Amino acid sequence: MTHRIVPADPFSIHVPDAEIEDLKRRLQRTRFPNEPLGNEHWEYGTSLPYMERLVEYWRDDFDWRAAEANLNRFPQYRATLTDDEGEDHTIHFIYERGSGDNPVPLILTHGWPSTFREFLDVVDPLAHPEKYGKPGPAFDVIVPSLMGYGFSSLPRKPIGPGAIADLWHRLMTEVLGYDRYAAEAGDWGSFVTSRLALQHSDAVMGIHLTMLPLRPHLKHESQPPVTEEEGHWIAKMQKWWRQEEGYRSIQSTKPMALAFAVMDSPAGLAGWLADKYYRLGDTDKTETMEGMIARFPFDHILTQFSIYWFTGTINSANTLYKAGPAEGTGLLKPGEKVTVPTAYSEYPIDVLPDTPRSWAERGYNIVRWRMMDRGGHFAAMEEPELFADDVRDAFHEMGITEGTKAG
């Protein structure tokens, strides 16, 4: 470590028995809604028969202690950083040192409605590729919980991806002692990671994204006119988004109108989130129930939901949708562009057309471009092997194969 100045405390998760019992009691007395005819394909939102099975499993069969042991299988820490206004932020993170003399430090950031659990199954394959008979590079793997999510602290007021990116940079440099590092993300994590690349371009060696969040400033003179392919893609995305963006709309304007129900009802929390896994995951949309369960086994998806429940963070997590736009981090300023080498891998979401590469290149220095044939929005959870192979391959192709410090 070159200049570690902030200590990190070892951490492991242990939810008290009383809280587990309280969860089961609440699930036991769940009052379910009815469902409109014609919801077999989740056309009106989260399916009732699916929810009935999920709640029953959560109550009777889900073993939180086993899930907890699984989450605790990698070293975790918490480090506290004080910001310019004197507020303390405690960041929870997995830190698995990679194999070899000089692994590439890689920070992977999850989004909503996910948690650090999303990357659990890729930590070992990324840190120790040799165990899986895979070529390098090996990574020092850092997986934080977003601020306001899971085991990280709740900001007094919601903070956006730009502010979180500054905390991530301090985590990597002041806490972990790296001068330079790489980053990977999707969803909100991709906003944080893009901001990290913009705000700390000297420190970020390269980024790998599974979502391209920053929109170019189309009116600026540096931007060529929208192509036919781009126009077609934009129109399709907007049409789809109108059907899907109700959750964003409420979370970005009035999260506290929603908070009381999802903080009080575990079934309500699960119903609110499951919709996104169904829509955005690469699930079989013909056999909706079995397809959903096959893609997101109850033990996996309920670990995600249980983390939100036990940490009481669904409200602060939802509020990122208000903080992000308030910070103005979603739109690139005129002429602004991510110059850090960027690898983009698009995991398919059934109904959506492929992103035109020309669109991505307006805002990012795209050096590697992949259209994946399976795995959806939660790729690291859905297809961990494919995801880990792609990340390793991407950094290898970008020439980022070792850290910048001697081990």
Partner 1 sequence: MSASKPVPFTVDIPQGKLDAIHAKVSAYEWHEMPEIDPGVDRWAYGTDMEYMRELCTYWTTKFDWRAAERKLNAFPQFHVEIDSQKVHFIHVKGSGSNPETVLMTHGWPGSVFEFNAVIEQLAHPEKFGGNAEEGMNLVVPSLPGYGFSGKPKKPIGPKGTAALWDKLMREVLGYDTYIAQGGDWGSVVSGWLAYEHSATKGGGCKAVHLNMYGVRPAALPETEEEKQWAAGAAMTFELESAYLRLQMTKPQTLSYGMMDSPVGAAAWIIEKFNGWSDRRGPDGKEHIENAYTKDQLLTNVMIYLVTGTFNTATWFYRGMFEEGGTSMAPGTKVDVPTGIANFPKEFLVFPPRSMVEKGYNIVRWSDFEHGGHFAALETGDVFADDVRAFVNQVKG
For partner 1, what does the binding mask look like between residues 298 and 317, x meaning CB under 8 A? --------------x--xx-
Please report whether residue 40 would count as binding partner 1 according to CB under 8 A: no
x-or-dash string of contact with partner 1, 68-107, rule CB under 8 A:
----------------------------------------
Q: How far is CA 276 from the centre of its chain?
A: 13
Decide: 58 and 48 in contact? Cβ < 8 Å. Answer: no
CB of 269 to partner 1, least distance (A): 7
- Residue 17 three-state SS: helix
Q: Pick from 4, 65, 131, 156: which binds partner 1 (CB under 8 A)?
A: 156
What is the smallest separation between the CB atom of 55 and partner 1, expressed in angstroms?
9
Q: How many binding residues for partner 1 (CB under 8 A)? A: 56
Tell me which stretch binds partner 1 (CB under 8 A): 40-48, 68-76, 213-221, 337-345: 40-48
Cβ within 8 Å of residue 395, ≥6 positions away: 104, 106, 137, 139, 182, 206, 208, 343, 401
**The two three-digit tokens of residue 49, written as one number:** 């028969």
* DSSP designation for 103: P
Q: Is 237 in the site for partner 1 (CB under 8 A)?
A: no
Could you give phi then psi for residue 209, rounded to 5 degrees?
-120, 145
3-class state of residue 273 by DSSP: helix
Amino acid symbol at 395: F
Please tell me whether residue 190 binds partner 1 under the rule CB under 8 A.
no
Residue 144 touching partner 1 (CB under 8 A): no
DSSP H or E segment with residue 246: helix 246-253
Sign of CA dihedral 393, 110, 81, 140: negative
**Part in contact with partner 1 (CB under 8 A); list of ranges 8-16, 204-212, 231-239, 258-266:** 258-266
Among 268, 281, 356, 403, binds partner 1 (CB under 8 A): 268
Residue among 269, 360, 379, 381 that touches partner 1 (CB under 8 A): 269
Residue 67, φ and ψ in degrees, nearest 5 = -60, -40
Torsion of CA 40, 45, 47, 51, to 10 degrees: 170
Determine the Cα–Cα distance for residues 244 and 73; give it in Å rounded to an integer: 36
Question: What single-letter amino acid sits at 182?
Answer: A
Binding of partner 1 by 320 (CB under 8 A): no
Query: Among 16, 18, 34, 406, which residue interacts with partner 1 (rule: CB under 8 A)?
Result: 34
Alpha-carbon separation of residue 307 from 66, 68, 116, 281, 374 (angstroms): 13, 9, 9, 19, 27
| Cβ nearer to partner 1, comparing 27 with 211 | 27
Any contact of residue 58 with partner 1 (CB under 8 A)? Answer: no
**Beta carbons within 8 Å of 17's beta carbon, 6+ residues apart:** none
Question: What gap in Å lies between CA 258 and CA 253, rounded to an integer?
Answer: 10
From 43-51, 200-208, 382-390, 392-400, give the range in contact with partner 1 by CB under 8 A. Answer: 43-51
Is residue 395 close enough to count as binding partner 1 by CB under 8 A?
no
Candidates 58, 151, 188, 272; binder of partner 1 (CB under 8 A) is: 272
* Residue 17 C-beta: closest distance to partner 1, Å: 17
Q: How far is the CB of 275 from partner 1 (least distance, A)?
A: 4
Site residues, partner 1 (CB under 8 A): 29-39, 42, 44-48, 51, 154, 156-158, 242-247, 249-250, 252-265, 267-272, 275, 312, 315-316, 319, 322
